[in-house]
Amino acid sequence: MDAEKFRIYFNAIQARHHRAYTIQAISGPRYDKLCLIARQFGKPIICQVLEKAAKSDFINDKNKFGRHLGFDWLLYRDNFVKVLEGYYDNQHEQPKMLVWGKDLEEDRRKKQQEAAEEAKKHYVTYEDYRQLRARAQAGDKEAQQLLLPPEEREETE
């Protein structure tokens, strides 16, 4: 990765988002971390993360520390991934987690209810049915047969 081209690109993104923070050099450990991130995620993802970081008020001074978190902070893999996932997006840009969580909970509950209904058809408890399905998915022929309706099961001797 060309460190100078990257530095210019980073500073241009910062300027476009009216951020005062710029980097002057990328060398030594900083360059090594950048290359590692580039190998793991690729340039398109790095560009996406830099845009998200430049837009984030939290990363750019509005945090409990009262300071910019910096380029070196962004090069730590955990921080990089959190920015990528939107953890530091501005509040007005984040999805409503409560609604999203509620939707997931309703979906999970619905799937459990469907599985319980299916278990009743086979005269087993919900937990037994889950274990039986897991065995069948793992390739256990006996479990696969037990999950079939009685009229469809193969005759065993």
The mean pLDDT of 74-96, rounded to a whole number, is: 80
- State yes or no: pLDDT of 97 exceeds 60: no
pLDDT at position 122: 58
Query: Which residues make beta-bridge pairs with 68?
Result: 60
How sure is the predictor about 95, in pLDDT bands with cuts at 50, 70 and 90? Answer: very low
Q: What length is written for the chain? A: 157
**Mean pLDDT calculated for residue range 23-42:** 91
Contact present, 55 and 34 (Cβ < 8 Å):
no
Strand partners, 60: 68
Rg for the chain, CA atoms, rounded: 26
DSSP of the chain, one letter per residue? --HHHHHHHHHHHHHHTT---------THHHHHHHHHHHHH-HHHHHHHHHHHHH-TTTBT-STT-SB-HHHHHTSHHHHHHHHHTTTS-GGGS--HHHHHHHHHHHHHHHHHHHHHHHHHTT--HHHHHHHHHHHHTT-HHHHHHHS-GGGSPP--
Is the pTM higher than 0.75? The answer reads no
